[in-house]
Amino acid sequence: MGTSGVPLLIFLAFASTSYPAAAYSRGDFPPEFVFGSGTSAYQVEGAAAEDGRTPSIWDTVAHSGESMDNGDVACDQYHKYKEDVQLMVDTGLDAYRFSISWPRLIPNGRGIVNPKGLQYYNNLINELISHGIEPHVTLFHYDLPQVLEDEYGGWLSRKIIDDFTAYAEVCFREFGDRVSHWTTLNEANAFALGGYDNGAFPPKHCSAPFGRNCTIGNSSTEPYIVAHNCLLAHASVVRLYKTKYQAVQHGFVGLNLFTYYFIPLTNTTEDIMATQRSNDFYLGWFLDPLVFGDYPRIIKKNAGSRLPSFTQHESHQIQSSYDFIGLNHYATMHVKDDPESLNSKQRDVIADVAAKTIFGETPPSEFPTDHPGMQGVLEYLKQKYENLPIYIHENGQMTPYNQSVNDTSRVKYLEGYIGSLLDALRNGSNTKGYFTWSFLDLYELYGGYKSSYGLYFVDRTDPDLKRYPKLSAHWYSTFLKGGNMGTYRIRKAKGEASRNSKVTPRKSQI
């Protein structure tokens, strides 16, 4: 996934409430509802030093850690995009969500456009369009050009607003005649927390005691600064698109956020209030400015002077600067109140939430499949944020990387979560589409190649990085092609998957 499924808020625990999956088919969804799958540039493209691409902050972090994993080769989609698009066709996808690599398209961060990068994305988009697959494009997925990080600190500086807007304009100008769905930033909230609070993500900023193994950063202030600049940059890009391109290209622009479905650990007033604080700090941090024009009251109270403020003009520009909101959702969490954290002399975003860790052991290697919280998340957004248009941009099961294509837990997960999504739609949710994460087993932000989310297994021992469909690919394909998922049998899918196993691959994958 974009953030690989490990909780960014470590004070939560996975829920385990039973949820019965009901029979359904694609015909139960609105005809215009979009189903797809996704990846991101650094996680799938490879060719990290080819054809003029320069390093991003993700390259830098990947090559500076203890792990030998990196995205230098990844799935080599840069060279194998035609093969992958054919797999998408075979699977039955309506759409493919991918990101553009800023340092591949504009190697110096600003200025001259790389013709090889431009050619690659034109080729990929044209290949998708020619096969009837709709491209959904993300502009930023954790891969800021390292040159901008070195020059002025990247997202910590307001200089990023002009550079990001100029980069977005290149994309709108060059690709907007064929791309109608744009996302400015992937998981803007997770980027601020993971990159600048606990230091787990690029550019790996943090300070003790909130993060470890960082050489730079301030967990108490930087996440708020980065989030503020993300909102301003997003609003600038949306304003550009709406004033210059939308009338001609007829597309849509949104922002993507990561979310859990938060549930109080108990029905006490304290835990209920802590759950609302978690929602406010995790979603309201970005959605309140976008929908209402300012940060939630509890964030302003708890963060105090550490939280930048919007001018009246900025507030006006940010409010309603979206056509949709993208959500990355994987799991349900329980929340317990922790008032002592607010008494800490050192405060970061997580402390400001004032909720307590109740993990007693290592987080699970797979997400529970017995409580799809999709309906709960969408119901909360419907009630709190005026039923704004939503795309589920990421949803999928984390499993340890192995050569088995019989990913039964992923099938159960997808069946439950898509069913929960259908329940939300029947209850009035304004959700427009759903994308699994991920299409291929790829380089994960957290865990590298040790974990996988893919519908397709990528054989990393094969020099050609052959792709093989898993059980989940067969399940999703059956669903997309109109099968009734209440009568679909895992045993049948296992038979299909075994015929496509690593040992006896077929040329026709689906």
Kindly indicate the confidence band of residue 78, based on its pLDDT and cuts at 50, 70 and 90. Answer: very high
pLDDT at 492: 53
pLDDT at 182 over 80: yes
Q: Over the chain, what is the mean pLDDT?
A: 89
Average pLDDT over residues 165-190: 98
What pLDDT digit, counting tens, does each position of 236-270 carry? 999 999 999 999 999 999 999 999 999 898 999 99
* Structure-block tokens of residue 308: 């930048």
pLDDT at 488: 53
pLDDT at 40: 98
Amino acid at 99: S
Kindly indicate the confidence band of residue 361, based on its pLDDT and cuts at 50, 70 and 90. Answer: very low
Catalytic choice (149, 187, 415, 444): 187
| Pairing verdict, β 13-14 and 451-452 | unpaired
Collect all residues with Cβ–Cβ distance below 8 Å to 275 and sequence separation of at least 6. Answer: 262, 263, 264, 335, 355
Kindly indicate the confidence band of residue 402, based on its pLDDT and cuts at 50, 70 and 90. Answer: confident
Tell me, yes or no, if 83 is annotated catalytic: no
Q: What is the 3-state secondary structure (H, E, C) of 67-122?
A: CCCCCCCCCCHHHHHHHHHHHHHHHCCCEEEEECCHHHHCCCCCCCCCHHHHHHHH
The hierarchical CATH code for the domain 26-489 is 3.20.20.80
Kindly indicate the confidence band of residue 364, based on its pLDDT and cuts at 50, 70 and 90. Answer: low
Kindly indicate the confidence band of residue 356, based on its pLDDT and cuts at 50, 70 and 90. Answer: low
pLDDT at 358: 45
Contact call for residues 99 and 137 (beta carbons, < 8 A): yes
- Among 131-140, 240-249, 323-332, 357-366, name the one with the lowest average pLDDT: 357-366
pLDDT at 48 over 80: yes
The DSSP code for 34 is: E
Amino acid at 78: Y
pLDDT at 205 over 50: yes
Rounded CA separation 57/145 (Å): 6
Q: What is the CA 165 to chain-centroid distance, rounded?
A: 21
Collect all residues with Cβ–Cβ distance below 8 Å to 194 and sequence separation of at least 6. Answer: 3, 8, 200, 201, 445
Greatest Cα-to-Cα distance within the chain, rounded to the nearest angstrom: 63
Q: What is the 3-state secondary structure (H, E, C) of 115-143?
A: HHHHHHHHHHHHHHHHCCCEEEEEEECCC
Kindly indicate the confidence band of residue 18, based on its pLDDT and cuts at 50, 70 and 90. Answer: very low
Average pLDDT over residues 30-56: 98
pLDDT at 19 over 90: no
Kindly indicate the confidence band of residue 363, based on its pLDDT and cuts at 50, 70 and 90. Answer: low
Collect all residues with Cβ–Cβ distance below 8 Å to 143 and sequence separation of at least 6. Answer: 40, 41, 42, 56, 57, 58, 59, 99, 101, 102, 103, 202
Average pLDDT over residues 16-44: 84
pLDDT at 136: 99
The DSSP code for 259 is: E
Amino acid at 67: S
- 458: helix, coil or strand? strand
CB atoms within 10 A of CB 284: 24
Collect all residues with Cβ–Cβ distance below 8 Å to 59 and sequence separation of at least 6. Answer: 42, 48, 70, 71, 143, 146
Catalytic choice (149, 379, 394, 415): 394
Query: What residues pair up with 14 in beta bridges, in sequence order?
Result: 333
pLDDT at 133: 98
Better-scored residue on pLDDT, 164 or 446: 164
- 159: helix, coil or strand? helix
pLDDT at 499 over 90: no
pLDDT at 333: 86
pLDDT at 404: 85
Sign of CA dihedral 17, 21, 22, 28: positive
Q: What is the 3-state secondary structure (H, E, C) of 383-439?
A: HHCCCCCEEEEECCCCEECCCCCCCHHHHHHHHHHHHHHHHHHHCCCCEEEEEEECC
Tell me, yes or no, if 394 is annotated catalytic: yes
Domain range summary for the chain, segments of one domain joined by +: 26-489
Rounded CA separation 236/251 (Å): 16
Rounded CA separation 155/192 (Å): 9
Kindly indicate the confidence band of residue 381, based on its pLDDT and cuts at 50, 70 and 90. Answer: very high
Rounded CA separation 365/397 (Å): 10
- 304: helix, coil or strand? helix
* Structure-block tokens of residue 110: 């600003």
